Amino acid sequence: MTDVREGRVLPVTDLSLVVLVGASGSGKSTFARRHFKPTEIISSDFCRGLVSDDENDQSATKDAFDVLHYIAGKRLAAGRRTVVDATSVQSDARRQLVELARRYDVLPIAIVLDVPEEVCAERNAARTDRADMPRRVIQRHTRELRRSLRHLEREGFRKVHVLRGVEDVETATVVTEKRFNDLTHLTGPFDIIGDIHGCSAELESLLGKLGYTDGVHPEGRTAVFVGDLVDRGPDSPGVLRRVMAMVKSGNALCVPGNHENKYGRYLKGRKVQHTHGLAETIEQMAGESEEFAAEVRQFIDGLVSHYVLDGGRLVVCHAGLPERYHGRTSGRVRSHALYGDTTGETDEFGLPVRYPWAEEYRGRAAVVYGHTPVPEATWLNNTICLDTGAVFGGKLTALRWPERELVDVPAERVWYEPARPLRSEAPGGQDGRPLDLADVRGRRVVETRHQGRISIREENAAAALEVMSRFAVDPRLLPYLPPTMAPTATSNVEGYLEHPAEAFAQYAADGVARVVCEEKHMGSRAVALVCRDAETARKRFGVDGPTGSLYTRTGRPFLDDDALTEEILGRVRTAIGEAGLWDQLETDWLLLDAELMPWSLKASGLLRSQYAAVGAASGAVLPGALAALEGAAARGVDVTGLLSRTRERSADAAAFTEAYRRYCWTTDGLDGVRLAPFQILAVQGRSLAGLPHDEQLALLDRLVEHDGSGLLQTTRRLYVDTADPQSVRAGVDWWLEMTGRGGEGMVVKPVGALVRDNQGRLVQPGIKCRGREYLRIIYGPEYTRPENLARLRSRFLNHKRSLAIREYALGLEALDRLAGGEPLWRVHEAVFGVLALESEPVDPRL
């Protein structure tokens, strides 16, 4: 045999279940090794060995095939081609494999190795482990194989390659074919057009509006039709002519709708009912030439049920498609793509009730489809239905991809009376439809663009579920939760546990040259979602009533009183308007990270039960104890050491009481309430988490300036160059001065906001340096005593730092998903992750 001789070429689809059929000794394993990756091949012998330690133990066959089917199933579910290396000469064995392929919606392909019985016997004899295989076994295999050959296609194999004789087997080559639906290499840009139903005039005006001239776009865009070109409307032939020409010239793609499908069957002479507007098409086509009708028939026949486009980011089909069907090939995939799924019930109009697959959709690819007329095209879980009922007097809608812009033209008239009124099927974002528990429950891994995969443990998810369900604001108004923040490394400066020198040093080590020190406000963290008006809140966030939200670090409403919340939102809204930020940021809503003061507004329970209680107890007990000691001392009893210690204690306790009192003042309504915004997190279409802090603060200063109500408060700041000792000194002095007057401390942040170190790792977005007096509230009244400080210095920051980075990445992810208009469950997943991580065990004093 020479290289020159060309053998058979066997096309094998890239995602398929390849079944090798041949007697023992026919060379299946050799063939498989030659043409497929080792990991693609599962052999029954190998599986026999797995379960019985003996590859030839026939008594293990049943278990071996269970294992084989299991592995094959896992591979197919993951979208990997699989080659089954077993004799498969019996129809029953093949039936199970065909079922397996169907279960995972891949093509079953048979490759038959029909090798003479003597050759098989000879080869087996040469193998020590098979030398004693009786000849009759091979005879039986061959007999069964011969019997099978005629039936393979009827058994369900979509491709059957039969190699006859040794030479055929040895010279054959396998070529991998892409699936017809795999157009991932096409990146568009696309204009995806909804159900037309013979509305030729509307189609022409839409194409014009989209920029097409005679079916060609000057920028080389591609139109994609979601099907249902025909029936009901006034000019189905005109629509077909236009679409077919565009497809033929490469300016368009088209997937079939159920109406084309039915018309195609009609054209092939099948018996179909002339209902749902088919009669109109037949009548209109009567005036067309035979030739055109033949072209139409061929066109419809060649349509592929759905397309996967743009690197897998976009799936287009007629009636929608769950993720497990994307890029798959089976009867039921085609049927879902054409008709969608139904619940088996019928509604009050006698029409089948559609199964709301889009509500459950969690896939990464956007699914663009039609089929179900809706009044408005809206995104739901990364899917969008473009059938806006043109033929029923609605409009014809297109989606620009990747721009995600909707373009539509109104119907010229009602061309066909709908059987039921147009309405939104999916109870989407607007009527309180909840998220699904499967999005948040149990151990989870969240994919983030800035920090890769972040895992959430089950017990933390359980705690977060409780808080999220029982206490948090509506998830639609909870698009973000702030991350925890690590404190500065422990200082060794005498009398101090935290000192800014450490923070500057840490950023210098991370390669961050410029940092901003921002005053830490003496209040509670608050996130504010402020919409321009109730209409924006309704349209963008799907809530009726509130114009935004104001919530705490764990997502709870900051204030119990909704009216007061609205008043705060109103004041911020006015300031945003006055400052011109709506226009400058091109947005109708703003998400703000802020501090709300006083602390006593929210933490009054804790203040009273813990902080004030300690103050009260110490105040009640220490004067008496001092008096007793002084009495004893006056009598000449030696209590010197104890007396001076108790005096210090008394001073420490007084300092503690002073410390917490600074965070308390009385408020009445909004009188006395202050809000200090320190970051604009996101606006329409954009996360601002990466906006440098100097620019952030400039925006926020303008906001505060334009607040006439006295609610908003500015954040004092100082910029420090971490490499310049003089600048660092100034930063330290600033902190000393501020905390010396009782300030809470400051947060040091890289000016660049979202920064990576020289090894590419995310840098802490902020490091807090808390004031010496403030820390009494954290570490107790007497923490400054040298013996206490010495012990408290052994604190472990690594876990807190890692937690801070993980929560930060999840927060960034939530903002990116929010800004990208991703479905609520995707935003909620990241937000829920932050809350869950907050319940991880870490020293709460850090």
Residues 451 to 510: which contact other proteins by CB under 8 A? 459-460, 462-471, 474-475, 484
Residues in the chain, how many? 846
Q: Is 414 in the site for other proteins (CB under 8 A)?
A: no
Site for other proteins in 505-534 (CB under 8 A): 524
Contact at 8 Å (CB) between 743 and 520? yes
Measured from the CB atom, the residue of 198 and 615 that comes closer to other proteins is 615
Minimum distance between the CB of residue 391 and other proteins, rounded to whole angstroms?
Answer: 20
158 phi/psi in degrees, rounded to 5: -85, -20
Q: How many CB atoms lie within 10 A of CB 237?
A: 19
Site for other proteins in 684-713 (CB under 8 A): none
* Interface residue with other proteins, options 289, 666, 726, 759 (CB under 8 A): 666
Minimum distance between the CB of residue 556 and other proteins, rounded to whole angstroms?
Answer: 7
* Interface residue with other proteins, options 782, 813, 816, 822 (CB under 8 A): 782
Instruction: Please tell me whether residue 97 adopts helix, strand or coil conformation.
Output: helix
What does the H/E/C string look like for 776-845? HHHHCCCCCCHHHHHHHCCCCCHHHHHHHHHHHHHHHHHHHHHHCCCCHHHHHHHHHHHHHHHCCCCCCC
- Residue 687, phi-psi category: left (phi > 0), alpha (psi -120 to 50), beta (remainder): beta
Return the bridge partners of 173, or none: 9
Measured from the CB atom, the residue of 136 and 635 that comes closer to other proteins is 635
Minimum distance between the CB of residue 470 and other proteins, rounded to whole angstroms?
Answer: 6
End-to-end Cα, the chain, rounded Å:
77
Site for other proteins in 552-611 (CB under 8 A): 552-554, 556, 599, 602-603, 605-606, 608-611
C-alpha span between 38 and 130 (Å, rounded): 23
Q: Tell me the window of 78-86, 439-447, 488-496, 696-704 that interacts with other proteins (CB under 8 A).
A: 439-447
Measured from the CB atom, the residue of 116 and 780 that comes closer to other proteins is 780
Q: How many CB atoms lie within 10 A of CB 296?
A: 24
Site for other proteins in 325-364 (CB under 8 A): 343, 345, 347-348, 353
* Interface residue with other proteins, options 628, 651, 698, 723 (CB under 8 A): 628
Measured from the CB atom, the residue of 627 and 723 that comes closer to other proteins is 627
Handedness of CA 636, 642, 645, 646 (dihedral sign): negative
Measured from the CB atom, the residue of 156 and 619 that comes closer to other proteins is 619
DSSP assignment of 336-358, as one string?
Answer: HHHH--EEEEE-TTSPEEEP-HH
Q: Tell me the window of 123-131, 590-598, 621-629, 759-767 that interacts with other proteins (CB under 8 A).
A: 621-629
* Interface residue with other proteins, options 38, 218, 635, 758 (CB under 8 A): 635
Q: Is 618 in the site for other proteins (CB under 8 A)?
A: yes
Place of tokens 């973000």: 480
Contact at 8 Å (CB) between 321 and 367? yes
What does the H/E/C string look like for 714-753? CCCEEEEECCCHHHHHHHHHHHHHHHHCCCCEEEEEECCC
Measured from the CB atom, the residue of 297 and 799 that comes closer to other proteins is 799
Measured from the CB atom, the residue of 341 and 630 that comes closer to other proteins is 630
C-alpha span between 517 and 508 (Å, rounded): 14
Contact at 8 Å (CB) between 390 and 205? no
Measured from the CB atom, the residue of 540 and 828 that comes closer to other proteins is 828
* Interface residue with other proteins, options 256, 615, 823, 833 (CB under 8 A): 615
Minimum distance between the CB of residue 350 and other proteins, rounded to whole angstroms?
Answer: 11
Q: Tell me the window of 188-196, 251-259, 378-386, 436-444 that interacts with other proteins (CB under 8 A).
A: 436-444
Instruction: Please tell me whether residue 534 adopts helix, strand or coil conformation.
Output: helix
Q: Classify residue 575 by its DSSP letter.
A: H
Measured from the CB atom, the residue of 237 and 833 that comes closer to other proteins is 833
Site for other proteins in 541-560 (CB under 8 A): 545, 552-554, 556
Shortest CA distance to 103 belongs to which of 318, 328, 326? 328
Q: Is 653 in the site for other proteins (CB under 8 A)?
A: yes
Cα–Cα–Cα angle for 14, 16, 20, rounded to 5 degrees: 115
Binding mask 732-771 for other proteins (x = CB under 8 A): ----------------------------------------
Shortest CA distance to 378 belongs to which of 195, 536, 540? 540
Measured from the CB atom, the residue of 504 and 611 that comes closer to other proteins is 611
Q: Is 668 in the site for other proteins (CB under 8 A)?
A: no
Minimum distance between the CB of residue 466 and other proteins, rounded to whole angstroms?
Answer: 5
Q: Is 99 in the site for other proteins (CB under 8 A)?
A: no
Q: Tell me the window of 291-299, 400-408, 640-648, 727-735 that interacts with other proteins (CB under 8 A).
A: 640-648
C-alpha span between 1 and 169 (Å, rounded): 12
Q: Is 612 in the site for other proteins (CB under 8 A)?
A: yes
Instruction: Please tell me whether residue 54 adopts helix, strand or coil conformation.
Output: coil
Q: Is 439 in the site for other proteins (CB under 8 A)?
A: yes
Across 81-197, the runs of DSSP E, i.e. the strands, are 82-85, 107-114, 159-164, 173-177, 182-183, 190-193
Minimum distance between the CB of residue 341 and other proteins, rounded to whole angstroms?
Answer: 13
C-alpha span between 310 and 649 (Å, rounded): 70
Q: Is 168 in the site for other proteins (CB under 8 A)?
A: no
Shortest CA distance to 496 belongs to which of 276, 772, 296? 772
Site for other proteins in 790-829 (CB under 8 A): 791-792
Minimum distance between the CB of residue 355 and other proteins, rounded to whole angstroms?
Answer: 10
Minimum distance between the CB of residue 748 and other proteins, rounded to whole angstroms?
Answer: 21
Minimum distance between the CB of residue 406 and other proteins, rounded to whole angstroms?
Answer: 19
Return the bridge partners of 363, or none: none
* Interface residue with other proteins, options 645, 702, 706, 799 (CB under 8 A): 645
Q: How many CB atoms lie within 10 A of CB 366?
A: 24
Q: Classify residue 149 by its DSSP letter.
A: G
Q: Is 651 in the site for other proteins (CB under 8 A)?
A: no
* Residue 144, C-beta contacts closer than 8 angstroms, at least 6 positions apart: 89, 90
Q: Is 646 in the site for other proteins (CB under 8 A)?
A: yes
Structure tokens at 60: 């293990």
Q: Is 639 in the site for other proteins (CB under 8 A)?
A: yes
Q: Is 671 in the site for other proteins (CB under 8 A)?
A: no
Q: Classify residue 607 by its DSSP letter.
A: I
C-alpha span between 180 and 81 (Å, rounded): 16
Measured from the CB atom, the residue of 313 and 645 that comes closer to other proteins is 645
Q: Tell me the window of 4-12, 51-59, 747-755, 780-788 that interacts with other proteins (CB under 8 A).
A: 780-788
Q: Is 91 in the site for other proteins (CB under 8 A)?
A: no
Q: Is 208 in the site for other proteins (CB under 8 A)?
A: no
Measured from the CB atom, the residue of 235 and 838 that comes closer to other proteins is 838
Measured from the CB atom, the residue of 437 and 509 that comes closer to other proteins is 437
Measured from the CB atom, the residue of 176 and 469 that comes closer to other proteins is 469
Site for other proteins in 260-319 (CB under 8 A): none
Minimum distance between the CB of residue 816 and other proteins, rounded to whole angstroms?
Answer: 23
779 phi/psi in degrees, rounded to 5: -105, 5
Site for other proteins in 357-396 (CB under 8 A): 375
Q: Is 139 in the site for other proteins (CB under 8 A)?
A: no
Please tell me the count of residues contacting other proteins according to CB under 8 A.
103
Measured from the CB atom, the residue of 427 and 820 that comes closer to other proteins is 427
